[in-house]
């Protein structure tokens, strides 16, 4: 087990890592999820022994390794910019850590063969890295990390520079590969979709702090605060100010929706409603499916990406172009909010066109005005839809 106990890292008076405590089990996959500069690489460098914490402890299998340099730890690391020895064959690239360990020839051949099979490199062992595609070069770097037999394998956005098809292939393969070893895997990414595909456990990071750590589906479905929910949403989470009155919520510009079962017992008052873009659909006509709520607005931008369409709408403009009136006490100080929907299919829409975006209230994430999860404060354990 790798344990970080109250770890801090300050550089030039700037706090890069702030009071991080984590326990990572052997044989586990652990995702560090956060935007650029959230602290993912800084945290990995501390785990590896490349940097030393300003305060706190790092413990590996009961041994305090705080300050122990990386060369004295059994750690492997793969970066976004994959590194191979250009003059060596793929076989020798993969075998290099084993040769440093002075492993017998038969052991080297066996381990390299198994790693090459896992990474689909068996037919390329005699080639040099420059004769490989980018994906094959990254597979070579991954195979070298795996064959080392490291106790801790750190993967710092290893797929970021690969094309879409290669990324998707490796995302599917990596969990299977991880399952073959007993190492602790730590995988850094900026993409929530990637964290969900990898599974395991996820730590969400923001400004050097871990905001939540737990089973990946649970962190996604039950963010304990608004910051975590925003970290685990791409495109960005839509957030509306609402007021609960009885069994319904009311917001500015005519937004209102029924309280989901898990929200019915919450006290009346003001909340923040989080709606993920993929939970919004192009809306209904009046009288259709009254269980769904509607946000009205006008198209600001639309982007077709394959089989999906991103719709950016300015909420606060009704179908007639005027700001929609609302009987609610909630008022949007900024007048117009930008709402983002990720809808299935190709939707041809024009800038300025009125649009209705519908959502199921069961999908709403609800937070207090201070940004804490209202579900948790109410002690609710009901599952939230994916």
Q: pLDDT digit string (tens) for 324-364?
A: 434 444 554 445 688 999 988 888 888 999 999 999 999 99
C-alpha distances out from residue 61 to 13, 28, 328, Å: 32, 14, 57
Class in CATH terms, 235-377: mainly beta
Q: Which one is predicted more confidently, 321 or 26?
A: 26
Q: Give mean pLDDT, residues 359-371.
A: 95
The tokens for 241 are 């100010």
What is the reported pTM?
0.85
- Tell me the pLDDT of the chain averaged across its residues: 87
For residues 158 and 76, the answer to whether their CB atoms sit within 8 Å is: no
pLDDT at 249 over 90: yes
CATH 2.40.50.140: which residues of the chain?
235-377
Confidence of residue 183 (pLDDT cuts 50, 70, 90): confident
Q: How confident is the model at residue 375 (pLDDT cuts 50, 70, 90)?
A: confident
376-384 contacts: CB < 8 A, separation 24 or more? 376/222, 376/224, 378/262, 378/263, 378/265, 378/266, 380/262, 380/265, 382/261, 382/262, 383/221, 384/221, 384/222, 384/262
Residue 252 is predicted with a pLDDT of 87
* pLDDT mean over 62-70: 92
Question: For the residues 28-39, what does the mean pLDDT come to?
Answer: 95
Read off the tokens for 36: 């650029």
What pLDDT sits at residue 80? 78
Residues of the chain with CATH 3.40.50.300: 2-225
pLDDT > 50? residue 20 = yes
CB atoms within 10 A of CB 129: 20
Looking at per-residue confidence, does 315 or 230 come out higher?
230
The residue with greater pLDDT, 379 or 134, is: 134
Q: DSSP secondary-structure letter at 234?
A: S
Q: Which CATH class is domain 2-225?
A: alpha beta
């Amino acid at each position: 087990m790798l344990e970080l106990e109250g770890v801090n890292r300050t550089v030039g008076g700037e706090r890069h890592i702030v009071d991080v405590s984590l326990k990572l089990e052997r044989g586990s996959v652990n995702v560090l999820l956060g935007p650029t500069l959230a602290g993912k690489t800084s945290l990995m460098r501390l785990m590896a022994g490349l940097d030393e914490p300003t305060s706190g402890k790092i413990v590996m299998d009961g041994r305090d390794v705080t300050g122990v340099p990386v060369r004295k730890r059994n750690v492997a690391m793969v970066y976004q910019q994959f590194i191979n020895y250009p003059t060596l064959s793929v076989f020798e690239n993969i075998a290099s850590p084993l040769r440093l360990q002075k492993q017998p020839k038969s052991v080297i051949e066996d381990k390299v063969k198994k790693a090459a099979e896992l990474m689909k490199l068996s037919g390329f062992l005699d080639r040099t890295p420059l004769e490989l595609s980018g994906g094959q070069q990254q597979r070579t770097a991954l195979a070298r990390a795996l064959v080392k037999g490291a106790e801790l394998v750190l993967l710092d956005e290893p797929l970021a520079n690969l094309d879409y098809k290669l990324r998707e292939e490796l995302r599917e393969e990596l969990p299977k590969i991880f399952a073959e070893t007993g190492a602790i895997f730590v995988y850094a990414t900026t993409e929530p979709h990637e964290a969900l595909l990898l599974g395991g456990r996820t730590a969400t990071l923001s400004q050097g702090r871990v905001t939540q750590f737990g089973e990946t589906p649970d962190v996604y479905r039950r963010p304990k605060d608004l910051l975590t929910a925003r970290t685990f949403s791409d495109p960005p989470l839509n957030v509306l100010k609402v007021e609960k009155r009885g069994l319904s919520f009311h917001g500015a510009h005519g937004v209102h929706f029924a309280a989901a079962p898990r929200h019915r017992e919450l006290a009346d008052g003001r909340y923040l409603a989080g709606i993920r873009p993929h939970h919004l659909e192009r809306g209904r006509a009046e009288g259709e499916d009254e269980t769904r709520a509607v946000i009205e607005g006008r198209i600001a931008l639309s982007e077709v990406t394959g089989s999906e369409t991103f719709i950016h709408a300015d909420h606060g403009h009704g179908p007639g172009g005027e700001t929609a009136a609302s009987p609610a006490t909630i008022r949007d100080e900024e007048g117009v909010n930008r709402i983002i929907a990720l809808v299935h299919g190709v939707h041809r829409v024009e800038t300025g066109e009125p649009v209705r975006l519908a959502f199921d209230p069961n999908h709403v994430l609800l937070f207090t005005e201070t940004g804490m999860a209202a579900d948790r404060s109410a002690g609710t354990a009901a599952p939230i839809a994916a």
